[in-house]
Structure 1
């Protein structure tokens, strides 16, 4: 009888509360301290370096630098458009059952992805040494007059970009279920109509993110056009540094403009990706603008309710 009472009393006593002790991550503290120390050392080194930081703001909006930035943006957009259009054609050729078109597309991708962009630019720039005269039958002119720095940069950057875009587009097309193609053909659509109206719109959610990354990379890769005398940002900064003797300072100015351009287009890429992700993700996180709009609405509601009281 006594054992039964003791067991009942023991069962009625609540168990002792477990105290959770967080795990100490000493490695994080050590890594953080090392990173802070390295950043501090770099900051001290640059603060004591022979760099005239005061003249950098004077050249950020210099007319030559602004024109160079505009040329960088201009040639990047044109080269990207050429790369996207030609990349779609190459991707369709690569996926074709025709062995000739498939082989030609594979060889193009193999060549342009396997050789440096700078070499391709220099080849186009010096093509007049091989073909002095351009004769198309309906048009004839000296190659030196035809192959301007703008056209050289456009061909060198755009044709190279097409090789990478073709692989991106091919991956996007292959991500669409084959049943979509079969259903389109059953409705009487041609191969071209199926590609334009069914396949590509669905493949955009796979194509858009890497395409945005490629364009941001194109903004920086366009600096190689300096080697073919294109008056882009690096060329303008170098020309100014040769007269002002502020070499490093001009490169800092160029870095500011590259960071500005890439930041702006990264924001654009973010919103474009959200648009094409609406059909695949139910609860998208709020954008910064949506958060600001929501906070302003809450503040207005609170002020209105306090005013009524």
Structure 2
């Protein structure tokens, strides 16, 4: 057998891969260059007096800023909870065979995804222009008493988020093999139980990553409520620099807090994704199919 014939395909593949790997000296030079550029930029930013770092340090934990931070976090949590719940309902309605429910869900998603969030917030805040009073049966309220900056912010953020979450959840549900639901029904499970026990748990791997992105986007989207005089983080720093005229330092205070929050959320999102993907590591597609079917069969037997 010739020498060339003794070379295995794996050896040739390894040689091709090694041929494309840069020399260690080149990689080391790239690392040094990148590090030098990053340190140089950081040094320029640190010594530039126009950034006002002493002012940033002074106001970073200012009570007004911290209060605005809590408002931002509260709005995010409430709007996301409402958005996820409504999004799940809308996703199920859009996937249903009921044409009326599907059409209404599609109309809702079309409207709230197709209009800017800022416009929606301003619209809700000025609801009294269209309806000076809101009446339900014999009860009647002044619209300005009901639609405060807080309620306008929550309603605007939640309804907008629900439209996006509906599509995220619908995509996750569609990623689950239809045979799962059919097998669950064959074991006597109704559609609601099959959805809750079988379909949604398997769809979570597809739902969690975009939902994490939506949560991070929501943190930043809350800054829009400052236009309706809602005292969130951005509005709080604006109220301070309107007095001190330290615009850049106060904006940096907001930036640092936003970065801090989103960094924590990124870590949490990564942990949740690893939890739902823990069964995929080191497994073949056939193993993953079998693994996905196991909970469904087990739950069905439990139901029986």
Q: Counterpart of 2:10?
A: none
Q: Counterpart of 1:141?
A: 141
Does the 8 Å CA contact 2:125/2:149 hold for their aligned counterparts? yes
Q: Counterpart of 1:89?
A: 89
Aligned-CA RMSD value: 2.6
Judged with a 3 Å threshold, the aligned counterparts in structure 2 of structure 1 residues 173 and 146 are, in CA distance, closer, same or farther, namely: same
Q: 2:232 aligned with 1:226, yes or no?
A: no
Q: Counterpart of 2:253?
A: 253
Q: Counterpart of 2:202?
A: 202
Q: Counterpart of 1:237?
A: 237
Q: Which has the larger radius of gyration?
A: 1
Alignment of 1:22-37 (within 5 A): none
Q: Counterpart of 1:98?
A: 98
Alignment of 1:273-288 (within 5 A): 273-282=273-282
Paired residues, what number? 265
Q: Counterpart of 2:117?
A: 117
Unaligned runs of at least 5 residues, structure 2: 1-14, 284-304
- Three-state SS of the structure 1 residue aligned to 2:141 is strand
Residue by residue over 1:266-294, the C-alpha shift from the partner in whole angstroms, topping out at 9 and shown as x without a partner, is 111111111111233348xxxxxxxxxxx
- Three-state SS of the structure 2 residue aligned to 1:50 is helix
Q: TM-score scaled to structure 2, two decimals?
A: 0.79
| C-alpha displacement of 1:54 | 1.0
Judged with a 3 Å threshold, the aligned counterparts in structure 2 of structure 1 residues 182 and 57 are, in CA distance, closer, same or farther, namely: same
Unaligned runs of at least 5 residues, structure 1: 1-17, 284-309
- Three-state SS of the structure 1 residue aligned to 2:188 is coil
Judged with a 3 Å threshold, the aligned counterparts in structure 2 of structure 1 residues 41 and 188 are, in CA distance, closer, same or farther, namely: closer
- Three-state SS of the structure 1 residue aligned to 2:89 is helix
- Greater shift after overlay, 119-128 or 50-59? 50-59
Q: Counterpart of 2:186?
A: 186
Residue by residue over 1:178-205, the C-alpha shift from the partner in whole angstroms, topping out at 9 and shown as x without a partner, is 1111111112222111111111111111
Does the 8 Å CA contact 2:121/2:225 hold for their aligned counterparts? yes
Does the 8 Å CA contact 2:45/2:51 hold for their aligned counterparts? no
- Greater shift after overlay, 95-104 or 164-173? 95-104
| C-alpha displacement of 1:52 | 2.1
Q: TM-score scaled to structure 1, two decimals?
A: 0.78
Q: 2:172 aligned with 1:167, yes or no?
A: no
1:23, 1:204 → 2: CA distance?
Answer: 39
Q: Counterpart of 1:63?
A: 63
1:158, 1:244 → 2: CA distance?
Answer: 34
Judged with a 3 Å threshold, the aligned counterparts in structure 2 of structure 1 residues 138 and 72 are, in CA distance, closer, same or farther, namely: farther
Q: Counterpart of 2:72?
A: 72
Residue by residue over 1:39-68, the C-alpha shift from the partner in whole angstroms, topping out at 9 and shown as x without a partner, is 846853774452321121111111110010
1:236, 1:104 → 2: CA distance?
Answer: 39
- Greater shift after overlay, 44-53 or 62-71? 44-53
